[in-house]
Amino acid sequence: PKEPVLMCRSNNYPKGFYCSWHLPSPTYIPNTFNITVMHGPRELVCEKDAFPKNRCHIRYHQLFSTVKYKVTLTVTNALGHTHTALIFREFTIIKPDPPENVVAKPVANNPRRLEVRWQNPSSWPDPESFPLKFFLRYRPLILDQWQHVELSDGTSHTITDAYAGKEYIIQVAAKDNDIGTWSDWSVAAHATPWMEEPKHLTTEAQAAETTTSGTSSFLPPPTTKNCDLEAVVGSGATALTWAAGLGLAAAGILFI
């Protein structure tokens, strides 16, 4: 077999880490994999997962150790064997899973704001002792360039420079405050900033008809602003009708 590809990662620090492997190309004959994990002179047990089969996990027996880990994977089949090894320190393989449940919502009466909330990855076992920091990126769908914000605490952020009326895509990544690397980006959230509702002009006849039809006539839209505007527009339309009538009457008298 060809040399296998081996990867080790801790997404649940300080509980432990896992190693996973695969062959770069299929052999089409049965292969057996044997993995050993050494921490200095001590051999650690790598418990194989039921699923997927090409993964095993190790519990930390020590934390904050400067002694390196060495993981050796041997692949054997009827045609021979090959192996590969990884050597690393405790902190270098720490990589949380992405934040979960990323939700973005518009902010009422604010056409340039979006409120984003998320949760710590559920696999991160002790966020109080090992708090995470976050990296948020966002862009309107119509543009390719991302905006970035790094957040040292908290699981929410308000975007204040969104383009009005444009749908946004937002993602978040996580990292321990001091050690390890950034997670992959989260599942994307989509949101469009709040927009003012379009205004409708009404004539006096339409206003009278809706008044007799039921109790819901001239119900103001949710925002007070629109209600005021519509009242103003309505009264203006009425005044215009009266003025037009007077003008016609005056023209009629002159004609006579």
Partner 1 sequence: MLCRLWLLIRPLLLDKKYQVELSCCQHLGRLAGVMASAEQNPVTLHHHKLYNRTILLARKIHGDVASLLESYVEKQGLDRSICLDSVDGVPSAAAQPEGEMTAAERLGAGLQAYRAFQALLGEVLEEQRTHLTPLDTDFHASIRSVLLQVQALARQLEELLGCDRLAWEAAGPPALGGLSLFQMKLRGLKVLQELAHWAVRTVRDLHQVATHSPGSGPARGCQVQAE
Nearer to partner 1 among residue 4 and residue 180 (C-beta): 180
Please, which residue, 14 or 140, has the CB nearer to partner 1? 14
What minimum distance in Å lies between the beta carbon of 25 and partner 1? 30
Question: How many angstroms from the chain centroid is the CA of residue 181?
Answer: 18
Q: How far is the CB of 6 from partner 1 (least distance, A)?
A: 18
Q: For the CB of residue 90, give the shortest distance to partner 1 in the complex, in Å.
A: 8
Of 25 and 66, which CB lies nearer to partner 1 in the complex structure?
Answer: 66
Closer Cβ to partner 1, 40 or 247, answer by number: 40
Q: CA angle, 87 as apex, 86 and 89 as ends, to 5°?
A: 130
For the beta sheet containing 110-119, the strands, ordered from the edge strand earlier in sequence to the opposite edge, are 100-107, 110-119, 156-159
Residues that bind partner 1 (CB under 8 A): 14-15, 40, 59-68, 87, 91, 128-131, 177-179
Query: Residue 66 CA to chain centroid, in angstroms?
Result: 35
CB of 123 to partner 1, least distance (A): 17
Please name the residue that has the structure tokens 């699923």: 51
CB of 69 to partner 1, least distance (A): 12
CA distances in angstroms from 155 to 16, 101, 131, listed in the order given: 25, 11, 11
Q: How far apart are CA 8 and CA 76, in angstroms?
A: 20
Nearer to partner 1, 125 or 221 (CB): 125
Other beta carbons less than 10 A from residue 47's beta carbon? 12
**Cβ pair 147, 116 in contact under 8 A:** no
- The two structure tokens encoding residue 225: 């602003």
